[in-house]
Amino acid sequence: MGLTPENKVLAFEKIPCPKNISKILGIKEGDSIWRMERVRQIDEVPAVFEESYISVKLLPNLKEKNLLKSKFDYIKSLGLEIGDSEREISAEIPSDYVASALKLKRNEPILLAENITYLKKGEVLEYSKIYYNQKSIDLSL
C-alpha cells in the first residue's frame, strides 16, 4: 500500500509477575516476565499503542531490538508455533499516558483490544492490551 510502518519501543523490562497477570499467563505470581510498550506508527503517525506481557521462561533471550520488527516473526524464528488467540474489544477513554503516546486529544475515545495469544501446544504465549488510534488506521483492512 506504499505505507511505511515503524515500531518504537517505549518500555522493555523484566519484572516480577503481578497476581492479575500471573492468572492470565498461567504462571506463578513473582515469576519473571517481560513487560513491553510499543507504539506502532504508519508513515510517522502513531496508529497503535501496545502493552504486552510474556513469560521470561518462554523467551529468555528476548532483546529490545527484537521488538523493532515483528515480535511474532522473532517468536517463529525460535521454532515456537503460534496457535489461537482470544480477543475482547471495547471502546474507552485512554489514560493520559496512552493518549499522549498516540497524540490524541484528552478524552478522545479509542478502541481497546485485550488479547491472549496461545502457542499451538495450548500454553499462553502473551497477554496484551492494544489501543487503536482510529484516526490513523482503517480498521476494515
Taking only the tens place, the pLDDT of each residue in 36-74 is: 999 999 888 899 999 999 999 999 999 999 999 999 999
pTM: 0.89
- 102 inside domain: yes
> How far, in Å, are 14, 50, 89, 112 from residue 131 at the CA level?
22, 6, 10, 5
- Identify the domain containing residue 81 by its residue range: 5-132
Whether 25 is covered by a domain: the verdict is yes
Q: Does 137 reside within a domain?
A: no
The predicted structure's pLDDT at residue 95: 94
Residue 56 lies in a domain: yes
> What pLDDT, on a 0 to 100 scale, did the predictor assign at position 43?
85
| Domain-located, residue 37 | yes
Domain assignment present for residue 69? The answer is yes
Distance separating alpha carbons of residues 21 and 40, to the nearest angstrom: 23
Specify the pLDDT at position 5: 82
Establish if 87 belongs to a structural domain.
Answer: yes
Q: What percentage of residues in the chain have a pLDDT greater than 90?
A: 82
Number of independent structural domains in the chain? 1
Grid look-up 490513523 returns 136
Q: What is the pLDDT of residue 29?
A: 97
Weakly modelled stretches of the chain, pLDDT under 50: 139-141
Is 45 inside a domain boundary?
A: yes
Q: What is the pLDDT of residue 106?
A: 80
Q: How many CB atoms lie within 10 A of CB 42?
A: 16
What CATH number does the domain containing 29 carry?
3.40.1410.10
**Alpha-carbon distance 121 to 119, whole Å?**
5
What pLDDT does 49 receive?
Answer: 97
